[in-house]
Amino acid sequence: MSKPRVFVARVIPDAGLRPILEACDATVWQDELPPPREELLRVVEGCDGILALLTDRIDGELLERAGSQLKVVSNFAVGYDNVDVPACTARGVAVGNTPGVLTETTADLAWALLMAAARRLPESERYVRDGHWRTWGPMTLLGPDIHGATIGIVGFGRIGQAVARRARGFGMKVIYQNRSEVDPALEAEFEATGMPLEELLPQADFVSIHVSLSAETKGLIDAEHLSWMKPTAILVNTSRGPVVDTDALVDALRRGVIAGAALDVTDPEPLPADHPLVGLDRCLVVPHIASASFATRNRMASMAAANLLAGVRGERLPNPVNPEIYG
Ligand code: DGY
Long-range contacts (CB closer than 8 Å, 24 or more residues apart) made by 252-255: 252/223, 252/226, 252/227, 253/277, 253/280, 253/282, 253/283, 254/280
CA 49/CA 218 separation, integer angstroms: 29
pLDDT averaged over consecutive 10-residue blocks of the chain (327 residues)? 95 98 98 98 98 98 98 98 98 98 98 98 97 98 98 98 97 97 94 97 98 97 98 98 98 98 98 97 97 98 98 98 96
Whether 288 is catalytic is yes
Amino acid at 206: F
Helix axes 14-23, 294-312, angle to 10 degrees: 20
What is the predicted pLDDT for the residue at 26?
Answer: 98
End-to-end CA distance of the chain: 29
Decide if 74 contacts 19 (C-beta within 8 A): no
Please provide the DSSP assignment of 73-135 as one string. Answer: EEESSS--TTB-HHHHHHTT-EEE---STTHHHHHHHHHHHHHHHHTTHHHHHHHHHTT---S
What is the predicted pLDDT for the residue at 305?
Answer: 98
pLDDT digits (tens, 9 = 90+) for 61-95: 999 999 999 999 999 999 999 999 999 999 999 99
Whether 225 is catalytic is no
Distance 78 CA to ligand 1 centre (A): 5
- Out of 225, 288, 297, 299, the active site residue is 288
What is the predicted pLDDT for the residue at 327?
Answer: 86
What is the predicted pLDDT for the residue at 1?
Answer: 77
Answer yes or no: pTM beyond 0.85: yes
Whether 240 is catalytic is yes
User: What is the C-alpha radius of gyration for the chain, rounded to an integer number of angstroms?
Assistant: 22
